Every structure is written in C-alpha cells, then in structure tokens.
Amino acid sequence: MSDTEPVTLTDNSLAILSDENVYNELLTRSGGQFVGNEKAIKELELIYKKLHSVAVEMANAYKSTSSQYELNPGRIEVVLGGGRAEGKPFKEGSDLDIFFHIENPDQNLDSTPLAKYPTSPVDAMDEKLIKMRSLQGRIKGICKEQSIPNHFHIMGWGAPIPEKYRPENQLLLAKVE
C-alpha cells in the first residue's frame, strides 16, 4: 500500500508522490527546462515521467527480496539524491542516485550478521552481494517492463546513512508500508 500524502524527509527535501508531480518537481529543480546532452535528456525524461510508479515497484521489489532472506524492513522509502535531485545538467551517462530508507535498518539488504557465518566472513559478504544482485535484477526487470532505460544507481541499500553523507536535496519518490 503506498502513501500518497506529501512527507518531508529533511528540511531540504520535498516529497510529492505522483508521476506528474515528481516530473514537475524535477523540472522546477532544473530551472524550468532540462539542459545538457540531448540523448541523456530524452532518456531521463522517459524515466522522469514514470518515476513515482517505478519507485513504488522498486520499494515492493525491496520488500519481496527482503522477505526471501527472512528480513523485515518495515516501511520503505525510495529517495532520489545527487545531481538529478539538485537539477544539474544532464551528461551522457547521467544516472539517478537512489537511496532506500527503511523503518528497521538492522533488516537491510546491505548486511549479513557475521554471527550467521562465524568462521567465514567471506560467506557473509557473498550472501550480502547475492541479496543486492537479486534486487538489482528485479530493478532491471521493472525498467524493461516499463520500457525505460535502467539508469538507476543504488547508493543506499537500507543501512543507516550517517548525516554527513546524506544527500542535501533529496526527493522522496515512493513510500510503501
């Protein structure tokens, strides 16, 4: 179930949860027009027009992937940070920096308790990578189904992000309970 009420994540973020409103907010942050590499603009505009819907699917994919590994992340928020959230000009190869914020950060996909593998930290790292690759594969499938390029760069996998590393101009794209 997605929540369509605007929610402020930080003093610098604006949360508007619909495809049209997310697109318009990103256009506003870009100064009223998208500038930069023409090919990049066309590709990213395709994504922007569906960004909230895709983010909801990404949150659901996170929840589903978590459940495969007996994790309970609770509420999942998908947040855009970086250059796209700041309205920077598009360059060829521009991507969208995505952060997953979860209610239960100890249940994130970016960790595997070493206690589960007391004699082999390498196995713990392997499990972590398998979980992350699984979600990346699901996101690739979502992009294919939505007929958009996959320019998503997952920067935060649900682990707590220290305040000094959090994006300043983040934009909440989706929230799923």
Q: What is the pLDDT of residue 52?
A: 95
Exposure string of 63-88, with b = 16+ CB inside 10 Å and e = fewer, is: bebbeeeebebeebbbbbbbbbbebe
Mean pLDDT of the chain, nearest integer: 84
Phi, psi of 51 (to 5 degrees): -60, -40
Kind plus residue range of the DSSP H or E element containing 79: strand 76-81
Reported as a pLDDT band with limits 50, 70 and 90, residue 85 is confident
Say if residues 29 and 87 touch (Cβ distance below 8 Å). yes
Which amino acid is it at 35?
V
Domain ranges of the chain: 19-176
**Residue 24 neighbours by CB under 8 Å, 6+ apart:** 16
Q: What is the pLDDT of residue 115?
A: 63
Say if residues 152 and 140 touch (Cβ distance below 8 Å). no
d(CA 89, CA 30): 8
d(CA 141, CA 145): 6
Kind plus residue range of the DSSP H or E element containing 152: strand 152-157
* 158 closest CA partner among 72, 100, 112: 100
User: What's the rounded mean pLDDT across residues 49-72?
Assistant: 95
**pLDDT, tens digit, 9 for 90 and up, residues 113-161:** 666 666 777 777 788 889 999 999 999 999 999 999 999 999 989 888 7
**pLDDT, tens digit, 9 for 90 and up, residues 10-21:** 333 444 578 998
Helix, strand counts (H, E) of the chain? 5, 4
